[in-house]
Structure 1
Amino acid sequence: MAILPDFAAATFGNSTNIDNTFFPLPGGTINSYGAALIDPETGEEETERNDHFATFETKIIEGVETVVVRDTAYADGVLVEDTLDWYAQADDGNVWYLGEIATNYNYNDEGEFIGTDFGGSWEAGVDGAAPGWIMRAAPMPGDSYFQEFYAGVAEDEGEVIATGLDVETDFGSFHGVVKILDTSGLEPGVGAYKYFAPGVGLVLEEEVVLSEDEPELVIEITNRREVDVSTPVDPTELAFAGDGAAKTITFLSEDASTNAAIGAYTFDTATGEIGEARILFADTEDVKAGAQATMTVAAGQSLGLFLIPDVEELGLELEDYADGGLFFRDFTSGDVADVYDGDDATTYTPGPATIYDRVAPVVTDADGNLLPIRAFHSVGNRDGFNFLNPVAGENALASDIDDGLAGVEVVSFEDGLASTEDFDGDFDDAFVAVSDAPLSGETVNALVEATGISRRVGTDRPDRLVGTDEDDQLIALDGNDVIRGSGGDDQIEAGDGNDRAYGGAGDDEISGEEGHDRLFGDEGDDEINGDEGRDRIQGGAGDDELAGGDGNDRLCGGDGFDELKGGQGDDRLRAGGDGARMSGGADDDTLFGEAGAEDVFVFDLIPFGSDLIRGFENGADRIEIATYTGVESFEDIAVTQDGRSTVLSFAEGTLEIANFDSARINASDFFFV
């Protein structure tokens, strides 16, 4: 039985020096964790990620100074939880957990943001909540204790299962590891095995149903970095001092992997307090080079810029903030007592943020409601790191392409989070110029050319966009458009309307978006997505990835070994000269194999419908079935003959193989994954 540790008996002489080898929290250390899982309804891979940041902030709780740790969770890149945890180490080496303020970001089934709540928040000494041990000084098998206790809200327990283990992860090998089972009285029957390595802390977590052997989800450490604060640097380096006149912000180009937004705010130059922010360019993929916005910057104020990545996933209309209404706030300041009473939870408002803060601010609207926005700031840079950004990453640099232009400064942004593989450090995801006066077309063209990014944006009318031999971005918007990529590795967005798009040579990315589109990869290893509508997609030469999206689509691989995914609708998928890996997706699909090639027909949805395979060659082709559909072996398949076709029946669908004798089908024709 778990014991509730005696907090009154503990002494805390140097409580913020948390050097317990299994739970070390040196300031500026960021441990990142990731996991991937398959959605059983869609068959799509989903990712989960956490960043565990030991900040330099402290908070007094029950007379004890605690270290503030920020734990931020994302699902498929979308912010779902932002928590401040409070830890302290007692003189005997036990690490205590004294509470948390958890902000949960909620979305509806369409992915639209609908608000926040503070469920799971608690603080030691408030409303009977008691602290517990998060890690013993010397863990021993059989130790069982409460990690936290706030009746009906937080009742987690820890039990030491084993010590001295060896653990392998993709990040590295760890020895002398402690294994602890975390459970909660509020969620009986489930738990998590957590593995803590000396000098690192948590390195592996296995979420389990206690009655089963295999974990439902495995979360591993993916990154560990430390922020060096030994060299102070002026955080206003990428800020622009005001004199009462307007500053012009000119969008030049972007090469981001996702849609982004650019915003700006003013801040008090003396105190660093950040004022109201506004969105300048709500979606950089729809902005033409040379688009300009202005902001008046008073004397004593300075201008700061920020980038918001993945705007399509936010579930917000950022255009609503073009005239202001966004506020950056310091979540570590302010009275958090209100969050523990459910009726008053929404009244909590963080304090004002400054560019000198050492914890990234949160974002609210004018009414103080928290918004699921993570922003990358230009100001706040401190020689390779920036506390205003998540995990203290540096995401903006002063570009040198403005050399020789008086009164013009160019800022280049990186749109990846520093703790993820998306952070490539090229700082070419967006280029913005700040000037004392509007830029001429000649100057804009020169700066755009200097960025090295060729970009053309169409109109809402039918357009004809033609790329160059370089890597182009061709964005057609509305209308029935014709887009030709020519050479280079191009990014083509056809926009709304019934469009035709040709990638040309190079490894291209083509998105049909809405409308009934015809999309051609041509040469190179291309990625083509039809998105919505009845699309016709042809990969051409190279090893291509084709996805139909919604609607009744037709996909043809062409030369090379291609991957074809039909998506929603009744689709027709045809392999090319070297074969293909084909998944019809939902609804009733027809899949055509290629004679003489080795094709793989994939069925990994629940349900996948009634599908038809034509051209199946015994001994060469294979059928792949995901075991989570309930089919784990050949014995789970009912095989019958219907005329000239073999019919395979499953719990989640029916598969017909045309012109094939059922006597020839056997276990060697299948993969079960």
Structure 2
Amino acid sequence: MTRMEYRHLKQSRLSWRLPVAVLAILCLTVSNSAGAKDRSNYCTKTAKLVREACFAEAKDDLMRTRANCINVSDRTERGECFKEARESRSEAIEECRDVFDARKDVCDAVGEDRYDPSFEAADFVDPDAIGDTIDPNPYFPLVVGHEWVYEGNGETITVTVTNKVKMVDGVPCRVVSDTVMVGGFPIEITDDWYAQHENGDLWYCGESVRNYEVFSDDLPVEAELVDIEGSWKAGRERAKAGISHFFSPQVGTTYRQEVFLGDAEDVVEVLSITESESTPGGSCSGNCLMTRDFTPLDPGVNEYKYYVPGIGQILEIDAEGNRIELVSFSE
């Protein structure tokens, strides 16, 4: 993922998917072993199984590349193809191990329990009542018409709460439009889906992502849709929702925003609720929420975010100190 609170952290990682039969074997393996051994380390067991899936995908990629290499006529070029295939597999295996270590760190932070949160329609409010008869979450006021504009790193990011509702696993979720522009062209357009729990917590229900590229030789030059990587939906392919913003965050809490193994695994740590910061679109003095946002899919990469109660996110700072700042907020 990637990204503002409203978009995934961008990840350069091995993308893997296993055939249904292989997944069934893995599920059977963990079921059988759990019956004979300690059943409590569910988080670590999950990380181990996903690591094996990652190894399998690395081997699959190697075999496919070799199949292409044998069809290269030039001997020298063919040799380079095989060499690159071996190097790519080695890099992929190393990445699988790094991600496994990062997942273990997440387990240490959130605990070893199964990740199986209750996500039932009866526990969530009518999205149309938010801001009317129901108070919005102060750190992301999910009120129709609210719009945030951010700038930084050459990007302009516009986040708008639409009047649309997406039903996700039976839960009514508000559609939030997120558009990232670079040089006048869209590079990412996302529909994020959020639901507000009756206790005020906001849940992240999924997202529909469209990623674009611009090719300067095209006439006319237009943004071309290249993939939908990062898309997921709670209840589909065993993806699960998570809390995006607590109504009353507690310092020291670490929690999952989403779980779609191998694709969406964002995690948040609450660092402070007494920070001070300033941006063109909003400021705080001793009352800002500060979080560390990260994902085991991109080990070692952290983003630090600041939220003003009643406005929402005003700032994101990456590990290099680059700032994406709120420049305007309209209600």
**TM-score category of the 2 structures, normalised to the smaller one:** 0.5 to 0.7
Q: Which amino acid aligns with 2:207?
A: E
Mapped partners of 2:198, 2:176: distance in 1: 20
Mapped partners of 1:78, 1:51: distance in 2: 13
Deviation at 1:164, TM superposition (A): 1.8
- Whose helix proportion is higher, 1 or 2? 2
Per-residue CA shift, 1:261-297, capped at 9, x if unaligned? xxxxxxxxxxxxxxxxxxxxxxxxxxxxxxxxxxxxx
Deviation at 1:188, TM superposition (A): 0.7
Mapped partners of 1:48, 1:153: distance in 2: 23
Instruction: Indicate which of 35, 52, 58 corresponds to 2:152.
Output: 35
Deviation at 1:185, TM superposition (A): 1.3
- The 8 Å contact of residues 200 and 247 in structure 2, kept in 1 or not, is answered as yes
Q: Which amino acid aligns with 1:143?
A: T
Q: Which amino acid aligns with 2:269?
A: E
Mapped partners of 2:169, 2:225: distance in 1: 31
Q: Which amino acid aligns with 1:29?
A: H
Deviation at 1:22, TM superposition (A): 1.1
Matches within 5 A, 1:467-482: none
Mapped partners of 2:110, 2:227: distance in 1: 30
Structure 2 residue 181 is matched with structure 1 residue 74: yes
Matches within 5 A, 1:201-600: 201-208=312-319, 214-215=320-321, 217-226=322-331
- The 8 Å contact of residues 190 and 209 in structure 2, kept in 1 or not, is answered as yes
Mapped partners of 1:5, 1:174: distance in 2: 36
Aligned CA distance change for structure 1 residues 123 and 9 (closer, same or farther; 3 Å):
closer
Mapped partners of 2:301, 2:268: distance in 1: 13
Aligned residue for 2:248? 138
SS in 2 for 1:189: coil
Deviation at 1:114, TM superposition (A): 4.5
Mapped partners of 1:32, 1:62: distance in 2: 30
Deviation at 1:10, TM superposition (A): 8.1
Structure 2 residue 294 is matched with structure 1 residue 183: yes
Mapped partners of 1:172, 1:145: distance in 2: 26
Mapped partners of 2:116, 2:196: distance in 1: 14
Structure 2 residue 213 is matched with structure 1 residue 116: no
Q: Which amino acid aligns with 2:262?
A: G
**Structure 2, unaligned stretches of length 5 or more?**
1-108
Q: Which amino acid aligns with 1:56?
A: N
Q: Which amino acid aligns with 1:50?
A: I
Structure 2 residue 269 is matched with structure 1 residue 159: yes
Mapped partners of 1:109, 1:182: distance in 2: 34
Identity %: 33
Mapped partners of 1:115, 1:88: distance in 2: 28
Matches within 5 A, 1:634-645: none
SS in 2 for 1:22: coil
Q: Say which one has the larger Rg.
A: 1
Aligned CA distance change for structure 1 residues 5 and 157 (closer, same or farther; 3 Å):
farther
Q: Which amino acid aligns with 2:327?
A: T
Q: Which amino acid aligns with 2:241?
A: P
**Structure 1, unaligned stretches of length 5 or more?**
37-46, 209-213, 227-673
Structure 2 residue 306 is matched with structure 1 residue 200: no
SS in 1 for 2:294: strand
Mapped partners of 2:254, 2:159: distance in 1: 25
Deviation at 1:109, TM superposition (A): 6.9
- Whose strand proportion is higher, 1 or 2? 1
Q: Which amino acid aligns with 2:225?
A: G
Aligned residue for 1:2? 110
Mapped partners of 2:315, 2:144: distance in 1: 22
Deviation at 1:137, TM superposition (A): 1.8
Q: Which amino acid aligns with 1:219?
A: I
Structure 2 residue 218 is matched with structure 1 residue 101: no
SS in 2 for 1:120: coil
Aligned residue for 1:23? 140
Mapped partners of 2:291, 2:167: distance in 1: 28
- The 8 Å contact of residues 204 and 221 in structure 1, kept in 2 or not, is answered as yes
- The 8 Å contact of residues 119 and 241 in structure 2, kept in 1 or not, is answered as no
- The 8 Å contact of residues 59 and 66 in structure 1, kept in 2 or not, is answered as yes
Mapped partners of 2:199, 2:137: distance in 1: 10
Mapped partners of 1:20, 1:107: distance in 2: 37
Aligned residue for 1:304? none
SS in 2 for 1:206: strand
Aligned CA distance change for structure 1 residues 87 and 172 (closer, same or farther; 3 Å):
closer
Mapped partners of 1:154, 1:186: distance in 2: 8
- The 8 Å contact of residues 5 and 133 in structure 1, kept in 2 or not, is answered as no
Per-residue CA shift, 1:184-208, capped at 9, x if unaligned? 1111111210111100010000122
Aligned residue for 1:332? none
Deviation at 1:14, TM superposition (A): 1.6
Q: Which amino acid aligns with 1:164?
A: T
With the length of structure 1 as denominator, give the TM-score of the two structures. Answer: 0.30
Aligned residue for 2:191? 84
Deviation at 1:167, TM superposition (A): 1.3
Aligned residue for 1:61? 168
Mapped partners of 1:195, 1:157: distance in 2: 16
Deviation at 1:59, TM superposition (A): 1.1
Give the RMSD, CA atoms, in angstroms: 2.0
**Larger relative CO (CA 8 A, sep 6+): 1 or 2?**
2
Deviation at 1:182, TM superposition (A): 0.7
With the length of structure 2 as denominator, give the TM-score of the two structures. Answer: 0.60
Aligned CA distance change for structure 1 residues 59 and 8 (closer, same or farther; 3 Å):
closer
Q: Which amino acid aligns with 2:201?
A: N
- The 8 Å contact of residues 266 and 294 in structure 2, kept in 1 or not, is answered as yes
- The 8 Å contact of residues 15 and 90 in structure 1, kept in 2 or not, is answered as no
SS in 2 for 1:7: coil
- The 8 Å contact of residues 5 and 146 in structure 1, kept in 2 or not, is answered as no
User: How many positions carry a matched residue from both structures?
Assistant: 210
Q: Which amino acid aligns with 1:223?
A: S
Structure 2 residue 238 is matched with structure 1 residue 128: yes
Q: Which amino acid aligns with 2:303?
A: A
Q: Which amino acid aligns with 2:237?
A: D
Deviation at 1:115, TM superposition (A): 3.3
